[in-house]
Structure 1
Amino acid sequence: MSTPLRITTLNLSSSGLTGTIAAAIQNLTQLETMDLSNNNLTGGLPDFLGNMKSLSVINLSGNNLSGSIPQALQREGLKLLVEGNPKLCFSDSCIKPHKKKPVVPIVASVVSAAVVIAILVLFLIFKNKKSTVLQGQPRKSRMKLKFANKNSKRFTYSEIIQMTNNFQRVLGKGGFGMVYHGTVNDSDQVAVKVLSKSSAQGYKEFKAEVDLLVRVHHTNLVILVGYCYESDHLALVYEFLPNADLKQHLSGKRGRSVINWSVRLHIALDTALGLEYLHIGCTPPMVHRDVKTANILLDENFKAKLADFGLSRSFQSRGESQESTVIAGTIGYLDPE
């Protein structure tokens, strides 16, 4: 108790940080390891980092830093990781513009400009034709073409039937429809949520969930493996979390609960981290609007992941009207904000 506490490690990796590196970090005089990787930090590397003699590891990889690396940060005994910062270099010379004598004839410039203009004209013509075709199609077809451009895996309905063994094993049921156990690549387990014909939810919620999960990734958000959009067949394919949802454990539906208070605290923290990422780490911010124990899934180690984003909303600014915060989903389960 007589020894004062000191911070030796700072890990803010993948925390959605923006702007320049905060000068307040130099107040942590006993800092030995600092990890600010995989954020969106900009600006140059501050000189004060090189003056922090206790620092032995600095990880700044995966940001958008620029300029040259100060000489003080190139000292022996300091491990500096800066991969993934294309505008960052190790000397002043790399940021000085190099003057080049014009060697390309004017004729070549005119030809290049003509080629660029021709490409733009063709692009606009193609875009107008495509827009005309889309406007003449029904709403479902337009949605299908939009989803076809997503990076997430798209499955056919026959593949959905095959991976679930003709919908043999039921995992649960929600407002969207039934959830089935499945496998992909003959080994990887998945959970397949299939839209029910009688469901009050539909294309809007399906589209919202796909749009969100293909662009956001966080350790406390469920992973979307893929989706199916074929005629009237809609399905979402997620990673399989063997300990189901938190509601089943708290209600005793899975037998005697193994969730002690320590595990419950970790689950609450995991859920809060997932919400914090949606609220602060996403641009624009996302609001889940249906945070309840049935939508908190648990992996084999009882790590919690938020699921069911069909009712989520994005907010372009802090000045949204009251009308846009109308409660959706299960009454009483809107995000705390």
Structure 2
Amino acid sequence: MEILHYFLFFGLLMSYLGICRAQDTITANQTLRDGDTLVSADEMYELGFFSRGNITNRYLGIWYKNKSPLTVAWVANRETPIRDSSGVFRVDTNGSLLVIAGSNNTVVWSSNPGPVSPPTINPVAQLLNPGNLVVRDQSGEGSLIWQSFDHPGDMFLPGIKLGKDLISGLDRRLSSWKSVDDPSPGLYEALMNTNGYPQLWVERDSVPYSRFGPWNGLTFNGIPTHISNSIYTHDFVMNDKEVYYWFTLVNTSVVTRIYFTPEGIPLRMNWNERTQMWFLYSSANIDMCSLFALCGSNGRCDPKNSPLCSCMEGFEPRNPDEWSASQWSSGCRRRTALSCSNGDGFRVFNNVKLPDTRRAWFNRSMTLGECETACKQNCSCNAYSNIDIRMNGSGCLLWFGDLMDIRTVDESQDLFVRMAVSDLTVQSIPEFTSRPAGSNKKRQTIIVVVSILSILVMVILILAILYGRRKNKRSRVKKIPVQTIDEEYIMDSQDDDTELTAFSLTKISKSTNDFANDKKLGQGGFGPVYKGVLDDGREIAVKRLSKTSRQGIGEFKNEVKFIAKLQHRNLVKLLGYCIQGDENMLIYEYMPNKSLDSFIFDKIKSFILGWSDRFRIIHGIARGLLYLHQDSRFKIVHRDLKTSNILLDVDMNPKISDFGLARMFREHENEANTNNVVGTLGYIAPEYAVDGIFSEKSDVFSFGVLVLEIVSGKKNRGFSHQNDSDNLLAHAWRLFDEGMAMELLAAHMRESCVASEVLRSVHIGLLCVQHFAKDRPTMSSVVLMFDKEGALPQPKQPAFFAKGSLPQLNLASVDDITMTTLEPR
């Protein structure tokens, strides 16, 4: 009997000491030390502490059991290794997983790095068969608290969702190791980019590196080898709660994984039981053409050609000298400008990877015919395609602006690109191809007439250019006299003044095709703005002072004075000026996406700017304003901040423009008073509108209006709501006060936004539009509010709360064109 008791006691003791080896769970009362392991029920995966290669650092991870060499599927403390073998793993009573360096009892990793959650009664960690480490609350119905599949490393396993949870904001992405033996985060990340229509991306150091997508119903466009088979099946899921890609096993006896290498290459590896080795099953189509936008805008990459890059039919190199030297980043431009009113056509491009869809508009239920009609009816639409290639195809993608990252692929998905009629062959023009063969004579007549007219136009154009050059040679060029700028605002030393180029009228006229109407980008209070292309291929924006403008030479000099000395990534760059005869012009860097208002207030183009784009734009504007108010050499108040004065570059980065009304403050000066209010209704702060007092808090108010407009897609001025008579600011405050701030967000973004970011943006926007300037935060505080999590102060009722409370100003603008009378300084 004593011997029986001895064996029973010994068995219980060994069971307790070896519990981590024999079971797949660990509770809050247990610990796992370095040397012990947790094993999944099917004995496929094992959890414990490990080292790789000659590196002695210890990490808690999950690896494939009994497979050599050690193949790690997940790592907890990637960035904080333990330097010795004292590591301890345990479950806290609040459900957090902890990795502790036992030598100094320091927590080096926690699954819940934020605020401590309420204690759970009985948390348990379990290593599941798919290799997923989960924490559940055993006191309830086993509700999930945390899982490792939500935080993958460099391994993409069956069941992992690569993508975003649109409710919580959780972004599941792969992250490469620094090297094969160092699990700390490397340079590359694979993610689901949900801007526009979702697509798979690889980023290198947070910069786009390669792109796979979009999903075409069978696979990601551009990866023809990535198709379902007898081993696994995969799918792309997109709904109002989440957007993700995943794969599941058809044959569960096969061991397969996607390994994201330290070089950023996704490889599918399968285990061969006979040879006891991993072998390469498939890989993405990796070559030079995989580099994102290698051929620039409107260029096409073909790995079978030499050189790799060529312009798409109907386009020509933007900078021929660079292209001849195999430098393609400048991309291609249209050979012939579009003429929407005269009817453009479409050229079909076969076997291409569809362009970058971050700025694309989409509708998943439209037919291809409806898609073509939608593109035809919008002169800004440059291309269209269907989304799903199965059966007869369905869904609609519309592209606006330049087409980026196109390459030749061995799969069938057609891209229809808008072309001028003259750049289409007779056979490709739908109006011609639909006619019977008996109309050949009529077609020939049309061709002859068009040819004759083209020759006449060319002759007239050449004569006009020669005449213009002869006339301009007689003109006397004037330069900006530095003395004309108010001495009060001359910088301390002219030695460090930013030098601007004095452009000749001849050069500017040539670059804009003599200020042709099709080169006109827009019209403001200053005058018209034109797009130009210099002889060296640089694209410019020419701001031409109108002779009838209420803004005159004062604002012209004011803008030169300010913007020439301001250098920031979120401020537009002034390249030079032109003063000749009666002409006064400012020359800027060209912003291909024009102004923010052309996107957020447009019914179709508003779909191009997803929430992540808008959130990034808000951040950029805030940083630009912070620079003006605090980080530049002088404190500068813009005084006319509005959506039309926020320009967008090719990557949709915001740049503050139009400094004609800006005012500089001395070192100890915080506010000023004027009898002449300048600015635009809807953006003017109340103390400025009523009392003529302006300060940096006036810009903060305008920024707050901008934030609420960007979130809602609605203009503050002229806003109306069916349930009340509030303006936009009052409507936003009511929703916020009732806990319904998400309702302010434009409907098309509610499926793809991060709710916490939206709520925080609305909250900060309302803080910025409070009635009294002293209650508004400074821009430095605003930037910190965006960059750091934490509680925010409660906003008070905003300024101009009632719709009829907007002040009546004689000098404020009409139709958002700023009309001003400058006061003496």
Residue 144 of structure 1: which of 460, 481, 487 is its match?
481
| Superposed displacement of residue 325, structure 1 | 9.8
**Which one of the candidate residues 603, 615, 629 is aligned to 1:279?**
629
Match of 2:470 in 1: none
Structure 2 residue corresponding to 1:153, chosen from 475, 486, 501: 501
**Helix, strand or coil for the counterpart of 2:585?**
strand
Partner of 1:192: helix, strand, or coil?
strand
**Matched residue pairs, number?**
203
CA distance in 2, matches of 1:167, 1:147: 28
> Counterparts of 2:511 and 2:657 in 1: how far apart (Å)?
21
Residue 699 of structure 2 aligns with which residue? Answer: 335
What SS class does the counterpart of residue 161 from structure 1 fall into?
helix
CA distance, structure 1, for counterparts of residue 660 and residue 570 of structure 2: 17
1:279 & 1:325 partners in 2: Cα distance?
Answer: 23
Aligned mates of 1:151, 1:254 — CA distance in 2: 41
Cα distance between partner residues in 2 of 1:159 and 1:254 = 36
Q: Which amino acid is 1:306 matched to?
A: I
The aligned residue for residue 316 of structure 1 is 666
**In the alignment, residue 573 of structure 2 is paired with which amino acid?**
I
Query: Alpha-carbon deviations, 1:267-308, whole Å to 9, x = none?
Result: 010001110001111222111111100000111111100001
| % identical equivalent positions | 37
Q: Deviations over 1:92-129 (max 9, x none)?
A: xxxxxxxxxxxxxxxxxxxxxxxxxxxxxxxxxxxxxx
**1:165 to 2:513 alignment:** yes
Relative distance call for 1:335 and 1:199 in structure 2 (3 A) is same
5 Å matches for 1:1-337? 2=98, 3=109, 144-146=481-483, 151-168=499-516, 169-252=519-602, 255=605, 257-320=607-670, 322-323=672-673, 327-331=677-681, 332-333=683-684, 334-336=698-700
Give distance in 2, aligned partners of 1:145 and 1:172. 30
CA deviation string 1:128-176 (max 9, x = no partner) = xxxxxxxxxxxxx895354898611111222221111101211111110
Q: CA deviation at 1:255?
A: 3.7
Contact 1:181 1:191 in 2 (8 A): yes
> Which residue identity does 1:279 align to in structure 2?
H
Distance 1:184 1:254 in 2: 32
Q: Is the 8 A contact 2:479 2:502 kept in 1?
A: no
Seen in structure 2, the aligned counterparts of structure 1 residues 282 and 185 have a Cα distance that, compared at 3 Å, is same
After TM superposition, give the deviation of residue 318 of structure 1 in Å: 3.5
What's the CA shift for 1:320?
4.6
Q: C-alpha deviations, 1:234-286, integer Å up to 9, x for none? A: 00111111111110101117645301111101001000111000111122211
**Deviation larger for 268-277 or 324-333:** 324-333
CA distance in 1, matches of 2:578, 2:548: 18
> Could you say if the C-alpha distance between residues 256 and 265 of structure 1 is closer, same or farther in structure 2, counting changes exceeding 3 Å?
closer
Measure, in 2, the Cα distance between the counterparts of 1:255 and 1:335. 27
Query: Which sits farther off after the overlay, 323-332 or 245-254?
Result: 323-332
CA 1:219–1:285 in structure 2 vs 1: closer, same or farther (change >3 Å)?
same
Q: Distance in 1 between matches of 2:508 and 2:576?
A: 10
Q: Which amino acid aligns with 1:144?
A: P
Distance 1:191 1:151, change over 3 A: same
Q: Give the direction of change, closer, same or farther, for the CA distance of 1:320–1:303 in structure 2 (3 Å limit).
A: closer
DSSP-derived class of the 1:185 partner? coil
For the pair shown, which has the larger CA radius of gyration, 1 or 2?
2
Instruction: Identify if the C-alpha distance between structure 1 residues 284 and 230 changes in structure 2 by more than 3 Å, giving closer, same or farther.
Output: same
Per the normalisation by structure 2, the TM-score is: 0.23
Amino acid across the alignment from 1:330: T
Q: Secondary structure at the match of 2:481?
A: helix
SS in 1 for 2:617: helix
Residue-by-residue CA offset, 1:64-110 (whole Å, 9 max, x unaligned): xxxxxxxxxxxxxxxxxxxxxxxxxxxxxxxxxxxxxxxxxxxxxxx
1:218 & 1:230 partners in 2: Cα distance?
A: 29
**Structure 1 or 2: more strand by fraction:** 2
Q: Which amino acid aligns with 1:335?
A: D
Q: Which runs of 5+ in 2 are unaligned?
A: 1-95, 99-108, 115-477, 486-493, 685-697, 701-777, 779-825
Q: How high is the TM-score relative to the length of structure 1?
A: 0.55
Give how far 1:212 is off.
1.1
Which one has more relative contact order, counting CA pairs under 8 Å at least 6 apart? 1
- 8 Å contact kept, 2:600–2:606: no
Provide, for residues 27-68 of structure 1, a one-character-per-residue CA deviation record: whole Å limited to 9, x for no partner: xxxxxxxxxxxxxxxxxxxxxxxxxxxxxxxxxxxxxxxxxx
Q: Deviations along 1:176-218, whole A, 9 cap, x unmatched?
A: 0000010123311111010111111111111111111211100
**CA spacing shift, 1:194–1:330, aligned 2, 3 Å:** same
Note if contact 2:507-2:534 (Cα within 8 Å) is conserved in structure 1.
no
Aligned-pair distance for 1:326?
A: 6.7
- Separation in 1 of the partners of 2:534 and 2:510? 9
Contact residue 153 and residue 225 of structure 1 kept, 8 A? yes
Question: Is contact 2:543–2:586 with CA below 8 Å preserved after alignment?
Answer: yes
- C-alpha distance in 1 between matches for 2:581 and 2:508: 14
1:317 shift after superposition:
3.0
CA distance in 2, matches of 1:287, 1:256: 29
**How far off is 1:323 after superposition?**
1.0
| Structure 1 portions without partners, runs of 5+ | 7-140
> Any conservation in 2 of the 1:155–1:228 contact (CA below 8 Å)?
yes
Contact 1:248-1:254 at 8 Å conserved across structures = no
Change beyond 3 A, Cα 1:241–1:253: farther
1:127 equivalent in structure 2? none
- Whichever residue aligns with residue 162 of structure 1, its letter is K
| Change beyond 3 A, Cα 1:183–1:280 | same
Aligned to 2:46: none
- 1:321 Cα deviation from its structure 2 partner: 5.1
CA distance, structure 2, for counterparts of residue 322 and residue 329 of structure 1: 15
Amino acid at match of 2:678: A
How far apart are residue 319 of structure 1 and its match? 3.5
Change (3 A) 1:193 1:322: closer
Contact kept in structure 2, 1:289 and 1:327, CA below 8 Å: no
